[in-house]
Chain A
Amino acid sequence: MTNEKRNQGAFFPRDRNWQPPALTPPYKTSVLRSPQKALLSLDNTLSEMTGPVFGHNIIGDLDNDLILNFAKDGELPIGERIVVHGRVIDERGLPVKGALLEFWQANAGGRYRHKKETYLAPLDPNFGGCGRTISDEDGYYYFRTIKPGPYPWPNGVNDWRPAHIHFSIFGDGFAQRLITQMYFEGDPLIWKCPIVQAIPSEEAVKQLIAPLDMGNTIPMDSLAYKFDIVLRGRRSTMFDNRREGN
């Protein structure tokens, strides 16, 4: 593999001006859950540069099909049918192959299937709301689902989450570990949301908004949205100084 040497370096430092800060008071829960002391900066050691790998054997046939993976035989969940697809790459633009992606979301009415969920919108008996997949050699992934609805949440008296899908991504080093949310092009709620506003710049927020992708729709069946994900890149190891025996 030509990139093998390059793939062994430490990860680029996280750009903390691009990422949301820990304390974002308009998102009230962050007030008591944000560390107040400075983080200890540490160049990666093996403990952060390595990470677990997930084989395709853990993935079931319907794991990337949220339309069918909870539905009763012969029934379907209610809502807009969509395909979500894209690539997982790193900051150098290299594909991250074999990345594990896990997703979860509310149903078309904005209701989660969870014991602690209290929103009055109904559960859909045919929709579970979770799925997963593994990126291929080019970092490409896809799944299909029902477009989630927006929902109100107890923060301000009238705060609403824009429609979104939660993503958890495993690259090939534990330092790359990332959880984020995908939003949908054209949703006016995006720019009113305190969780979105935790992100400091408009440019960074746009990185989370998936465009409608007519080139990948399935005619008479499903619309498509494209969502590319960028994980931290690795430093080059050329001319790296290493002590003997390491």
Chain B
Amino acid sequence: MTQPLNYFKETPSQTAGPYVHIGCTPNFSGVSGVFHEDLGISMTNDQTEGHRITVRGMVFDGKGAPLKDALVEIWQADAKGFYNSPSEMRGQADPNFTGWGRCAGHMESGEFVFETVKPGIVPFKDGRPMAPHITFWIVSRGINVGLHTRMYFPDEETANATDPVLTRIEHKSRVPTLIARKEGDDYRFDIHLQGDNETVFFDI
């Protein structure tokens, strides 16, 4: 016998179910008057530094139908590459930028929309720069464990080509699933749960 290591097991995940919006965006779901406003609906204010962008997209199932009951959260660095987080040790993030957004897909179309700023460069573990990116987390009915992925920018070809994460992807044909499309002034980032264009999801 040895001494026990005394680690605990992570609580098992369960699906967010069809009514995740009651808990996470109650005003959107029609339960009004409990919380003043839904969390994560605005990431910026009129003093936020950086280039304003709109990111929109949909989550598609294996038959190509958009999910109408998904909840999408994003997390990103500010324009200078700092996270607005207590575990950010490199410097002070823009106090007028939360870095975190939450959006329920539109009940008819399934589209999510984030008004944010373009993130700056964040270093990889070994100090190499990572190309500007936004971290995504997707939950819904039918998803047993929330899915993590990243969105990169189509106008950052040089940085993307040496990004330490994108270059880790063995099948280069899958890299474009992580790169948004420019659509007018907006970026469109569609997420495919299955199929030929299945988005690369991360075990992080």
Contacts and interface: CB of A to CB of B under 8 A. Distances in A.
**Do the two chains belong together in a single complex?**
yes
Interface of A: 7-8, 11-16, 18-22, 24, 27, 29-37, 39-54, 58, 60, 62-63, 69-70, 89-93, 102-104, 112-117, 128-132, 166, 168, 172-175, 177-181, 195-196, 198-199, 204-205, 207-208, 229-233, 242-246
B88 interface: yes
Interface stretch (B16-24, B109-117, B154-162): B16-24
B103 interface: no
The 8 A-B pairs at the shortest CB distance, nearest first, are namely A104-B23, A29-B142, A33-B142, A50-B85, A52-B100, A39-B203, A32-B62, A50-B83
Nearest to B29: A114
B187 interface: no
B126 interface: yes
Nearest to A244: B127
B90 to A, nearest CB: 8
Nearest to A201: B12
A230 B87 contact: no
Interface residues of B, number: 82
Interface string B75-100: 11100000111111100000000111
Interface string B24-59: 101001110111100100000000000000000000
B85 A115 contact: no
Nearest to A115: B30
B193 A35 contact: yes
B148 A175 contact: yes
Nearest to B123: A246
A233 B7 contact: yes
Contacts of A204: 9, 12
Contacts of B31: 70, 113, 128-130
Contacts of A46: 77, 83, 88, 122-123
Interface of B: 6-24, 26, 29-31, 33-36, 39, 61-63, 67, 69, 73, 75-77, 83-89, 98-100, 107, 122-127, 130, 133, 135, 137, 139-148, 150, 165, 168-169, 174, 193-194, 198-204
Contacts of A198: 14-15, 144
Given A18-B10, A45-B124, A114-B19, A175 B141 contact: no
B122 A18 contact: no
B18 A116 contact: yes
The binding surface of chain A is classed by DSSP as: loop
Contact of B23 (A37, A130, A173, A178): A130
Contact of B201 (A39, A53, A129, A168): A39
A241 B22 CA distance: 45
B85 to A, nearest CB: 4
A22 B144 contact: yes
Given A32-B63, A47-B135, A60-B35, A20 B12 contact: yes
Contacts of B39: 54, 58
Contact of A181 (B14, B75, B99): B14
A13 to B, nearest CB: 7
B61 A14 contact: no
Contact of A179 (B16, B33, B124, B168): B16
Contact of A40 (B7, B140, B201): B201
Contact of A16 (B6, B33, B203): B203
Given A22-B144, A60-B36, A177-B146, A243 B126 contact: yes
A132 B6 CA distance: 30
B61 to A, nearest CB: 4
A50 B87 contact: yes
B22 A15 contact: no
A113 B165 CA distance: 42
